[in-house]
Structures are given as structure tokens and as C-alpha cells.
Chain A
Amino acid sequence: MSSPWEPKIVAFLCHWCSYAGADLAGVSRIQYPPNIRVIRVPCSGSVDPLYILKALREGADGVLVSGCHPGDCHYLSGNYFARRKFFVLYELLRFLGLEGRVHFSWVSASEGQRFAEVVTSVVAAVEKLGPSPLAGERKYHDLA
């Protein structure tokens, strides 16, 4: 009865670049998988690693964080600071053996096509890994 598993991916998109890039992908009618749930943030530098962990805790199978290209940050250096935090988190998750669930990308406001490609590749990567071992624990009653 239950529908086949589809990956749920939480995407933190920076307001100035990646969110606008996603918008452009939309208005340009570029097709990409509908598995992402977008959360708009002011800057990739404002994404606390806890947000990413929290998304995984709440049942996301994967997380995508996307910001402006290095040098293009609206706040000049937010994404440089973000890159350091993300790198440590990325390596730590790799150490735990959870490689491939958390992804980072730089997508500018003019890269609608690229945004679609990034999402497609993230969805494909998470699909290959299957449901998150952290999400699988949850067994509440559903509407009968």
C-alpha cells in the first residue's frame, strides 16, 4: 500500500545566489527532481552545522547547502567562513561513514541550469544510498 521510497532532501539556499538560481530554474521551466524542500537563508555563512544535523534528525535522507561562489558573497566573506565549517562537518561525516548524504554547492543567481544539475546529482547520490539510517527509526501512526 505504501508508495515506493523517495529521498527527502532539505536544501538550505542562500537568498542572494542559490535561491535566485532555483527561481531561475523554475521560471525557465528546467526540469529537476521534486525531492528537495527549500529553506531560504540569508547567507550560507548563517547555516549553523547544527541545522544540517537537525535536518538529518528530523528525517531528511540528505541535505544540500548552497551559496554564492567564492568571492561573490553578498556579505563579502560569509561563504568563505561557511566553507571552513562545512569542510569540517563533511570530513567528520565521512569519518562516521555517512558519506554522500550532506552536499555543498556554489550556485549563482544566473545558473538556473546548474541548479537543476546540482539537485539532480544530489538526488541521484542520496537515492543510491537509500533511506537514512537516522530517519528509519521513526515509526508513528499514520492516517489510516
Chain B
Amino acid sequence: MTLREGARKLLEEKSVQGVLGYKRGSLPFRTRPYLFRNPQEVEELVFTPFCGTNLARYLLRLPGDFGKVAVVAKGCDSRALTVLVREHQLKRENLYILGVHCPGMVDWRKLAQWKDLKESEVAFEEGTILIRGVPHPLSSFLEASCKRCRYRSPLEYDILLGAEASPFPFEDHLAALWRLPKEKRWEFFAQELSRCIRCYACRNACPMCYCKECFAESHKPLFIHPSPTLRDNFVFHLGRAMHLAGRCVECGACERACPLGIPIATLFLAVAEIVREHFAFEAGASVEAPAPFVTYREDDPNAFIL
């Protein structure tokens, strides 16, 4: 069964009120989230390597009495759903998870160097991307967060559709950063954080940022000034990173959303890595384990304390 058939069946049977998926956008390669409400629309449902928006974000915006909804979920989307169910933001019985194997998400910005490239001129084969017939290694076009993805196929689903996607090499850009001397690292982050214009696209695209009032926009207490200076951007992004500790599902939606192309997910991925390494916890993957900040062990790391 293909994704479209699955979605159409659900809508025809009226077992769900809608199918949350992707459809083609107005620009080549871009896709946009869409809530399919009737079976005729399903022809427009697509799943391509350009469907990076984390759909869990959109579930939070549905009215409370919406009823059951089906959602197309890659590995990271399914992790996000698990966390949101655990945090009582969604009800599992109101979800029908249409699991899909993720081929790895391609950064459409990296295709910009080919002028007037059409969607029909790009094809994907085993680990390569064919652009106007010329093969290129797929991994150099993938998003940084996808290259270090551990769960490309969903962990939680009601039905798993499509074939398993071809593997690509695991590449951890965080390790490369850790190897730099600390002055270089700060130079890098200070430059990137200074570029931020605080449009909050990263936060709004994040499936885990559902606070009614964000600390960044809070007036009382006032944490940061609305103007984007390095020190205010620093508090915004690090504050968000701390809020996401043990919650970030490493989908990279924040980085994809950034209109300036700041590699902002690096911070959140680093936090997820710290939590994984030292507290043996992965958000949305470990279903039983308690969230890292609501528990403790007496032998937690202590060497950093004076």
C-alpha cells in the first residue's frame, strides 16, 4: 500500500477527521504541511526528500475537539509525537500514525547553485542524487541533523508504509566542532549567534516549543531585550537549548526553518548528545525511562563541581 492509498482509505472509511501530510509548495522542491480533509484531495499528498517540517508541530494547533487525526511520520516526527503524548499535549488514541521510512532530508538551499533547476531534473538512487543526469553523493546534500540520524524509520506507528530507504554514511558534525580549540569554537558560535535576527522561526517550527508564552517574549520577568544583540541571542538560544534538554528529538526542523541558514540545531543536538551520553536518555525513543530532569542518580557526574 502506498502512502496515498493508506491516507485515502482512512478518509473514505471516515476513521479519521483528517490526514496531516505534505503537499507541493509554490517553489520547486519546497513542500508545505497540509491537512487533507477529503479523499479527493489525497492525490496531492506527497512524501519527498524535501519534507523536513516536523508535522507534530501542527497537531498542537488543531482545535481540542478535532477528533482523530492521521499524521505522516518519519523517525523524528514519531519521536516528537511520543514526547508530546508523554507530556500530555496529545492523546495517543486521537492519533493514527502513518509511518514512513525517511530517505534523509535534502537541503533545498544546496540546490540553488543550479539555476532554474526543475523538480523533474532531479532524481534519487541508492545513495546518490542525480542532478540533470549527473550523479552526486547524496550525503553532501543532506541536512546536518539527518546525517547523524539514529532513527530514520518511525519507532511508533499504526501502519508502516513504503520500502526501507537506502542507507547513507553516519557523519557527526558535532564531533568535528568538539575537536576545535575552545577559542575557535566560541569564535564560530559568536559569529553565528550574532547573525540571528530573532524572527523566532526556529522556535515556531520546533515541535517541542509549545509554551503559551515564551521566555523570550516575556515582559514580566524580562529575560532578554527584543533587539538582536549577541548577548540577547545567546540567552535566547541557550535558554531554548536548556528547555529542550531531554526533549529535543533531533529533527533539525529549527535549522531548516532559519531564513538565514544559521546552523542553530548544533546547540540542541549537542544537548541531546550530552543527555544521551551521561543520562542514557533519548527523547521519544526511550518510552519507559523517566525524563532526565525529573529524576536523578546519586552517582551522576560530579567532577565538574568545585
Cβ B302 vs Cβ A57 within 8 A: no
A residues 43-85 touching B (CB-CB < 8 Å): 49-50, 53-54, 56-57, 70-71, 77, 80-81, 83-85
Nearest chain B residue, comparing its CB with the CB of A79: B296
Q: At the interface with chain B, which of A6-14, A22-30, A31-39, A101-109?
A: A101-109
Cβ B235 vs Cβ A53 within 8 A: yes
- Determine whether B158 belongs to the interface, using a CB cutoff of 8 Å to chain A: no
Note all chain A residues with C-beta closer than 8 A to B245.
Answer: 85, 88
Interface residues of B, dominant DSSP = helix
Most A Cβ at <10 Å: residue of B245, B293, B297: B245
**Interface size class of chain A, counting residues whose CB lies under 8 Å from the partner chain:** 35 or more
Flag A79-113 by CB within 8 Å of B: 1 or 0 each. Answer: 01101111111111111111100011110000000
Known: A50-B215, A50-B235. A83 touches B300 (CB 8 A): yes
Cβ A96 vs Cβ B185 within 8 A: yes
Note all chain A residues with C-beta closer than 8 A to B283.
Answer: none
- Determine whether B201 belongs to the interface, using a CB cutoff of 8 Å to chain A: no
Our pick among B224, B231, B304, B306 for the contact of A87 (Cβ within 8 Å) is B304
Note all chain A residues with C-beta closer than 8 A to B274.
Answer: 87-88, 91-92
Cβ B279 vs Cβ A137 within 8 A: no
Cβ B238 vs Cβ A92 within 8 A: yes
Nearest chain A residue, comparing its CB with the CB of B245: A88
Flag B239-273 by CB within 8 Å of A: 1 or 0 each. Answer: 10110010000000000000000000001001100
Residues of A within 8 A of B (CB): 49-50, 53-54, 56-57, 70-71, 77, 80-81, 83-99, 103-106, 118, 121-122, 133-135, 137
